[in-house]
Structure 1
Amino acid sequence: MTQPVLLPTPTVPHAALTGSEPETPYEQYVYAYPHQKAYRLLENGPLLSELWSRERLDALSLYVHIPFCEMRCGFCNLFTRTGAPEEVTRDFLGTLERQASVIREALEAKGEPIRFRLAAFGGGTPTYLTADELTRLCDISEHIMGADLKAASWSVETSPATATADRIAVLAQRGATRLSIGVQSFIDEEARAAVRPQKREEVEAALARLKEADFPILNIDLIYGIDGQTERTFKVSLDAALAWQPEEIYLYPLYVRPLTGLSSRHAKTLQEWNDQRLRLYRYGRDHLLSAGYEQTSMRVFRRIGTRAVEDTDGSSISEYNQQAGMVGLGVGARSFTTDLHYTTDYAVAVPEVRRIIDDYIATPTDQFRRAQWAFSMDAGERRRMYILQHLLESTGLPIADYEQRFATRFEDDFGPQLGTLLERNWLREKDGALALTLEGMAWADAIGPMFFSDRVRTNMSTYQDR
């Protein structure tokens, strides 16, 4: 198979950000708003104890970022380094423990009961850590942060090479709810074309171990848009994934971003690549729907009857959890309060990632008491965050809830965007909600950026990639 020939995707295309007609279906994956490129370093950030004193503490989420992988895929722009030696992971966990103590102290300053309803270990690849290191990570999360992992809905990301029996045993014993494994393709040649060298037998062996552990939810990630990939080859991967009867399958369009392994490759035309991705997306969507899965967002397909890992025991708690209450632990992890989103420094290039990890390990404990890189959330930004969290999901944007929450109407606040969505037949009203149509869902990565604010667009456009 030939190597991928792909065009880099523009970070902030003009058309999609003004409410006018998007030029490509693949502007940007909006998994959180705003993107870290919109954050800026604070000279003297607020104390965490002050930030969290204004939040409810009975519906928190814990996100732990492990910035290590055994390899870096060609499409990856995550904050991670490969081949970290034992002394680096050991020192990283030591710093994580110091940071956790400070964060817990800040939460306890309010004097109210603290409860984590959701937890996630992401990265990177959390299972890059050894079984003993994973045990220590769980201990930090439970004994220092105070997150009851067995009571929370807890998701962990893994990879075929690191889903070893001893690591899986730790996660199963500690109560992991959901294991997500990045397969991307079951065809070796396609995996190599995406600069992800792996063998199918290694993938199948890892899946066998995960199934034997019997986690409540098994998720398999696949990618479409690899050079040379067709409906026939995509079906091979889809059917191979379906054979394991996973509760979830995620279908990701391939993006090529600056400073990644594929960023120097070029396509004949962007239109040809868009056509390929749209064609494969529609094929994969229809294939999974016919196999007994339901689509809950552009990427997520859940086996009918499966309860989502993010389900909680009350709608108000779930809603708060989406708007604030995210406590991030580790370099690269983001935290969300009502008025401020904050994180650490962020980079993609290997030398910068290593420098930031080294700086994190050397951070004095007192420095963790204040927010560092941050973005302030005013009423307008909270509207946009709410829209993106609901409109891009199959349940849609509840009209009455929006008006009650913000005392304004969606059509008054975002008339140009609404006009474009209706003109393209990407939006319809369903059961009191504004929901994307089937074709609208296919264009979700173009619809999301339409709701970015001018401030976010400016910050992102002036961010120096590194």
Structure 2
Amino acid sequence: MTTAPRSLAEPVTEAAPTTPPYTSPYESYVYAYPHKTAYRPLHDRPLLRDLWAAEPQGALSLYLHIPFCEVRCGFCNLFTRIGAPGDMTSAYLDALERQSTAVRDALQGDARFAAAAFGGGTPTFLGARELSRLCDIAELRMGADLRAVPLSVETSPSTATADRLGVLAERGATRISIGVQSFIEAEARAAVRPQSPDEVAAALHRIRESGVPVLNIDLIYGIDGQTERSWQRSLDAALAWRPEELYLYPLYVRPLTGLARRDPGAPDPEWDAQRLRLHRHGRDHLLAAGYEQVSMRMFRLRGTAAPVSGDDHACQTDGMIGLGCGARSYTSRLHYAFDYAVGMREIRSIIDDYISRPASAFAHAEFGWEMTEDEARRRHLLQSVLQAEGMATADYRARFGSSPADDFPEELARCADRGWLDTAAAPERLRLSAEGLAHSDAVGPMLFSPAVRARMAAYGLK
């Protein structure tokens, strides 16, 4: 295991405090650690074959990224562009196929995939034939058996057409996730999410008609003008479809997004309090409606089995292969991806570069973050404790030879002082309390290393 990110573009200055002060319950959504704003160019451009040579490959996750949307929502800072002129989607799939061939060669035929996902962007921006080709890339090029492992696909109301959904159902999709955000048209407009209630209802009907077993609906709270009453109207409208999963997201105003042009995103205690109220209201409403809380954002209908496979992927320890210009890949020693941007001009440039690459250009890692032993501990803790079930301390000790209390005494003490830890679960399990889960977006950043925080702070927005 390396001890410092030696191959990054410049040294990391670790002048930040060990634990940052608490400023807001909504500091950062930690969906991956570290975030790509901590990645930098890798001077040695390591060969993928070398990176994966000693890695366990028996239960990998496969992610295919499609960087196209019909519109860009006002809150969105994902790596995506609006539209795809000419034959750009076909050219993108050509590049994806070249990359998949190079990556599969680097894995040397030993990889087996335990889970797969198509994300974006909006994967269903692709037409039905193009979606079929995307599945072929996952199966024929990468060797993933899409009918034997969980396959999750993201969609939108305007692109969830019957022909697209039919392809996905036939090819083995087990979960369709649709971003509705609000069932109230005025709130959708306030979030710069143009859609009509009729369009949303038609899309949900088609998803149910497709036979894909798990429907997930994304909703957002904290939208301008939203109240507890209007929030409950959206919740009840979603519950009418009895989705197997619901994700409740707090609204963030991020730099270079549509909403950021109206609001600079300065600290706002009143907005924080509103979002906390709406979170608690939504949580309690879903629990009463027969759902169980899986994380701060995720709720699953009781009796719905979690998606598993014969070789269940564990995000804390198993690797991930990401294909596409917005995807990231994980080995135990290096997290890597292509360049990252939020601004539309820069995103278009990165996509254009990706599309023009020959196969040989996909054999190296170019941007990334080297994982030290300390970073591996932080990532394991983050990806475990932000789940409602928490983390078995014996599992952590078996992997690292120490306890979380030994490694993160200051951070855990602060969580305990704020009532964010479930003391009834200790010492066998480290678990957040209900309020701790509500403050997950403050707990997560508290566990960032000084090196990662410094790198993220130094990132130049583009």
**Common topology (TM > 0.5):** yes
Separation in 2, partners of 1:269, 1:434: 30
Separation in 2, partners of 1:131, 1:231: 39
Give the equivalent residue in structure 2 for 1:318.
Answer: 313
* Cα drift, residue 373 of structure 1: 0.5
Q: Deviations over 1:377-407 (max 9, x none)?
A: 1111100000001010011121111122111
Match of 2:221 among 224, 235, 240: 224
CA contact 2:178–2:217 (8 Å) conserved in 1: yes
Q: Given the two structures, how large is their TM-score scaled by the length of structure 1?
A: 0.93
Give the equivalent residue in structure 2 for 1:38.
Answer: 38
Give the equivalent residue in structure 2 for 1:68.
Answer: 68
Give the equivalent residue in structure 2 for 1:168.
Answer: 165
* Cα drift, residue 51 of structure 1: 1.1
Aligned residues: 445
Match of 1:247 among 244, 247, 259: 244
Match of 2:138 among 132, 138, 141: 141
Q: Which residue identity lines up with residue 384 of structure 2 in the other structure?
A: H
Please identify, of 130-139 and 179-188, the stretch whose mean Cα deviation from structure 2 is larger: 130-139
* Consecutive aligned runs of 4 or more in structure 1 exceeding 2 Å deviation: 16-21, 264-269, 311-314, 321-324
Match of 1:404 among 394, 398, 404: 398
Give the equivalent residue in structure 1 for 2:433.
Answer: 437
Separation in 2, partners of 1:460, 1:186: 35
* Cα drift, residue 323 of structure 1: 2.4
SS in 2 for 1:102: helix
CA contact 2:60–2:313 (8 Å) conserved in 1: no
Match of 1:276 among 270, 274, 297: 274
CA contact 1:335–1:342 (8 Å) conserved in 2: yes
Q: Which residue identity lines up with residue 208 of structure 1 in the other structure?
A: H
1:336 equivalenced with 2:344 (yes/no): no
Separation in 1, partners of 2:310, 2:208: 27
CA contact 1:20–1:417 (8 Å) conserved in 2: no
Please identify, of 25-34 and 426-435, the stretch whose mean Cα deviation from structure 2 is larger: 426-435
Q: Which residue identity lines up with residue 356 of structure 1 in the other structure?
A: I
CA contact 1:17–1:449 (8 Å) conserved in 2: no
**Structure 1: gaps (5+ residues):** 1-13
Q: Deviations over 1:308-346 (max 9, x none)?
A: 22x3335xx533x43232001010100000101100111
Give the equivalent residue in structure 1 for 2:460.
Answer: 464
SS in 1 for 2:151: strand
Separation in 2, partners of 1:312, 1:23: 40
Q: Given the two structures, how large is their TM-score scaled by the length of structure 2?
A: 0.94
CA contact 1:248–1:303 (8 Å) conserved in 2: yes
Separation in 2, partners of 1:256, 1:301: 24
Match of 2:293 among 292, 295, 302: 295
Give the equivalent residue in structure 2 for 1:258.
Answer: 255
Separation in 1, partners of 2:442, 2:317: 22
CA contact 2:333–2:370 (8 Å) conserved in 1: yes
SS in 2 for 1:358: helix
Separation in 2, partners of 1:357, 1:327: 19
Question: What is the aligned-residue RMSD (CA, Å)?
Answer: 1.6
Match of 1:451 among 442, 447, 450: 447
Separation in 2, partners of 1:17, 1:312: 42
1:371 equivalenced with 2:365 (yes/no): yes
Separation in 2, partners of 1:312, 1:378: 30
SS in 2 for 1:192: helix
CA contact 2:221–2:251 (8 Å) conserved in 1: yes
Please identify, of 403-412 and 325-334, the stretch whose mean Cα deviation from structure 2 is larger: 403-412
Matches within 5 A, 1:44-123: 44-108=44-108, 112=110, 114-123=111-120
Separation in 1, partners of 2:82, 2:208: 27
Separation in 2, partners of 1:86, 1:436: 50
Give the equivalent residue in structure 2 for 1:3.
Answer: none
SS in 2 for 1:318: coil
Give the equivalent residue in structure 2 for 1:387.
Answer: 381
SS in 2 for 1:181: strand
Percent identity at matched positions? 58
CA contact 1:185–1:223 (8 Å) conserved in 2: yes
